[in-house]
Structure 1
Amino acid sequence: MGVCLGKPQTDDDDSEKHFEFANGNVHLIATKESWDQKMAEASRDGKIVIANFSATWCGPCRMVAPFYCELSEKYPSLMFLLIDVEELTEFSASWDIKATPTFFFLKDGQQVDKLVGANKPELQKKVTAIVDSTTECQK
């Protein structure tokens, strides 16, 4: 399981784009307002939200990003969000992010589960469990 605990000290330009992180049905959250809008939309539509707090410089985040995008396409009944902890530092701090990536599973804005680290099998397991639980509720 990969986890980044801090930004590496490099002279590299941080101009990496988010397109590799936010493909498929993943929505990039760049402002608190866009977060509020997506959360309201999810509540209105009865969708579970998976919020990925990530960073472009984080190796494990880069590793899990394509898988996260695949999941977003496989499970359109869920809402997949991507929050860059470097761009939304105060907002990320309000979620007590200690390592990246951190995934929160939210229903009606309330946390129902959490995963810290780029553990693909565990992420798949938690997404499947969420989908199964929402399917059960609809029967």
Structure 2
Amino acid sequence: MFSIQLSSFSTMGKCASKHQIDGGESSHFNFAGGNVHLVSSQEDWEGKLSEANREGKIVLANFSASWCGPCKLIAPYYAELSEKYPSLMFLLIDVDEMTDLSTSYDIKATPSIFFLKNGEQINKLVGCNKPELLKKITAILDSQPESSCLQPQPQ
């Protein structure tokens, strides 16, 4: 795991760098809820992508950090969307825990949410923008073949 001291700034709802993990601080997410799956290893990542491919699901991969204010702000909404749209797979990746995966996706700011279909990126959202996240989800679902499983679940 790498350590870089956080330059305490956030622009347009994005945390712009990573921070140094303090020995006593837990970097595990405590704000994954709903139907959000925490990815904590390469095996988890590969397993979830395989599962999504088998089930024909589009993956939302949320690259976040436990210390990131905008990540904390969008987390409850992301969890809410995961329950509303069970036809999608919602993943949460801690950039400090999964540095190799984060580097492979060239994460420069958190949160960064990648939309993947069959393992390929079809869209991306950087920052804490709830209306834009919903807009992208809706556009993706609208582009899918008609199916009752794509409709939001009643609340």
1:62 is aligned to: 72
Deviation at residue 19 of structure 1 after TM alignment: 2.9
Deviation at residue 128 of structure 1 after TM alignment: 1.0
Deviation at residue 131 of structure 1 after TM alignment: 1.4
Structure 1-normalised TM-score? 0.91
Choose from 1, 26, 33 the match for 1:15.
Answer: 26
Residues 103 and 27 of structure 1: CA distance in aligned 2, closer, same or farther (over 3 Å): same
Q: C-alpha separation between the residues in 1 aligned to 2:91 and 2:21? A: 28
Q: State the identity as a percent.
A: 62
Residues 96 and 7 of structure 1: CA distance in aligned 2, closer, same or farther (over 3 Å): closer
Residues 55 and 131 of structure 1: CA distance in aligned 2, closer, same or farther (over 3 Å): same
Unmatched 5+ residue regions in structure 1? none
1:73 is aligned to: 83
Deviation at residue 138 of structure 1 after TM alignment: 3.6
Cα RMSD (Å) = 1.7
Structure 2-normalised TM-score? 0.82
Deviation at residue 45 of structure 1 after TM alignment: 0.2
Q: C-alpha separation between the residues in 1 aligned to 2:55 and 2:101? A: 24
Which secondary structure state, in structure 1, belongs to the residue aligned with residue 139 of structure 2?
A: helix
Q: C-alpha separation between the residues in 2 aligned to 1:121 and 1:101? A: 15
2:16 is aligned to: 5
Which secondary structure state, in structure 2, belongs to the residue aligned with residue 93 of structure 1?
A: helix
Residues 138 and 5 of structure 1: CA distance in aligned 2, closer, same or farther (over 3 Å): same
Deviating beyond 6 angstroms after TM superposition, the runs of 4 or more aligned structure 1 residues are 9-12
1:97 is aligned to: 107
The CA deviation string for residues 87-110 of structure 1, in whole angstroms up to 9 with x for no partner, is 011110000001000000000000
Q: How many residue pairs align between the two structures?
A: 136
Write 1 or 2 for the structure with the bigger share of helix.
1
2:38 is aligned to: 28
